[in-house]
Amino acid sequence: MHALLDRGIAGGDVPERPGIVHRLDRDTSGLLVVARSDEAYDRLQDLVRQRALNRRYLALVRGRPRSQSGRIEAAIGRDRHDPLRRSLDTDTPKDAITHFDVERLFPRHALLSVRLETGRTHQIRVHLAAIELPVVGDHVYGVPDLELPRQFLHANALSFRHPFSGATVAVESPLPGDLQAALARLAS
């Protein structure tokens, strides 16, 4: 954040998060869209509202999906019993849709490519846990992993129309070393 402030990044209603168009959960690595001006921020927020900002994640889950791909459509909101958690059991439901494809299968795990259609707080983690595919290393909704001190969730691809030129912007981010090492342990 301080690097953004040093570069004069602007946009948004939260001064502590200048220009940040969407969020990543704590301990999630990967790509983030940041606007450089108020006008760019407003236009990029419109893309988010129109569901035209495409976000893909890689998630390692415990368990094996019943199909090669799937769509999870289940409203999410604050948990009725724990205000710090999100849940399907909520008094404040908001529509949430998550798509997944199997990238790689292991004996007791699966690496999924996950695409958000909506962007609710903790959406991927809550949805995958709800279908009994908890994210590895997730201490809140998933399964802790002593060799991985954070959840195996990485925002690996983003694509959207540039807010001014209309050109397609598509970027990818490889898995960081700690997540690559976790996959190597499973493959050995």
17 domain residue, yes or no: no
Strand 86-87 to 77-78 pairing:
antiparallel
Q: Which helix (H) or strand (E) holds 171?
A: strand 168-172
Catalytic residue among 6, 25, 46, 79: 25
The predicted pLDDT at position 55 comes to: 96
- Domain hosting 132: range is 56-187
Range among 16-25, 28-37, 51-60, 140-149 with highest mean pLDDT value: 51-60
Active site residue 25: yes
Please check whether residue 20 lies inside any domain of the structure.
no
Q: How far is CA 85 from CA 100, 116, 147, 165, in A?
A: 22, 19, 24, 39
Amino acid (one-letter) located at 185? R
- The answer, yes or no, to whether residue 184 has pLDDT greater than 90, is yes
Q: Residue 95 falls within a domain, yes or no?
A: yes
Query: What is the CATH classification number for the domain harbouring 60?
Result: 3.30.2350.10
The reply to whether 120 falls in a domain is yes
Instruction: Establish if 6 belongs to a structural domain.
Output: no
DSSP-derived pairing of the beta strands 54-62 and 109-116:
antiparallel
Total domains, the chain: 1
pLDDT at 2: 65
pLDDT band at residue 10 using 50, 70 and 90 as cut-offs: low
For 158, the enclosing helix (H) or strand (E) is strand 153-161
Residue 94 lies in a domain: yes
What per-residue confidence (pLDDT) applies to 4? 67
Confidence category of residue 179, pLDDT binned at 50, 70, 90: very high
- Asked if the structure places residue 142 within a domain, the reply is yes
Instruction: For residue 173, give the H/E element and its range.
Output: none
- Enter the pTM of the model: 0.92
